[in-house]
Amino acid sequence: MPAAPTPRYYTVSWDQLHRDSKALAWRLVERGPFRGVCAITRGGLIPAAIVARELECRIIETVSVVTYDEELRGEPLVVKPPAAAGDGEGWLLVDDLVDTGTTARVVRAILPRAHFATVYAKPAGKPLVDTFITEVSQDTWILFPWDTEAQFVAPIARARNNGG
């Protein structure tokens, strides 16, 4: 029986997240001005703050959809709707990542007229997003800076030789 594939991880530093979020703002500036920015919490909070600053947008709203628990996926649950954003007309919706599209579909149903932008996109969720910066493979787990700490990692060759 073949061994299960080793999960792929893509580690994003604070500096890279800032650069990528600013690049997202560059792509969005011509689409504005926006009435407000709505962050999908929690992952979209920091990118939304950077984008809002770059677009000089002072009105910030949030929508909270619980879907993930570390690496496990569950049924989406809206725990905080975006009351100020109405149907999304004139609003920018920001998240860190669109993965399978589960959260994106839920939020799109709440804010169907918003422009949806993410910093990172996986193939399964990409069609649900209007603007993104970087595409990563579906089997890659992105490690965001708020989820990680710096620590030693064995070289790839050593891990491979040890059965990893």
Cα separation, 5 vs 130, in Å, equals 32
Residues 96, 130, 139, 147: which is the catalytic one?
96
Contacts of 87 (CB under 8 A, 6+ apart): 111, 112, 113, 114
Catalytic residue among 95, 130, 139, 147: 95
CA atoms of 152 and 155, how far apart (whole Å):
9
Packed helices 45-54 and 14-28: angle between N→C axes, nearest 10 degrees:
50
Strands (E), the chain: 8-11, 36-41, 60-69, 72-80, 91-98, 115-121, 131-135, 140-143
139 is catalytic: no
- Collapsing DSSP to helix, strand or coil, 161 comes out as helix
CA distance 155 to 62: 40
Q: Which of 20, 87, 99, 139 is catalytic?
A: 99
Judge whether 96 counts as a catalytic residue.
Answer: yes
Catalytic residue annotation: 95-96, 99
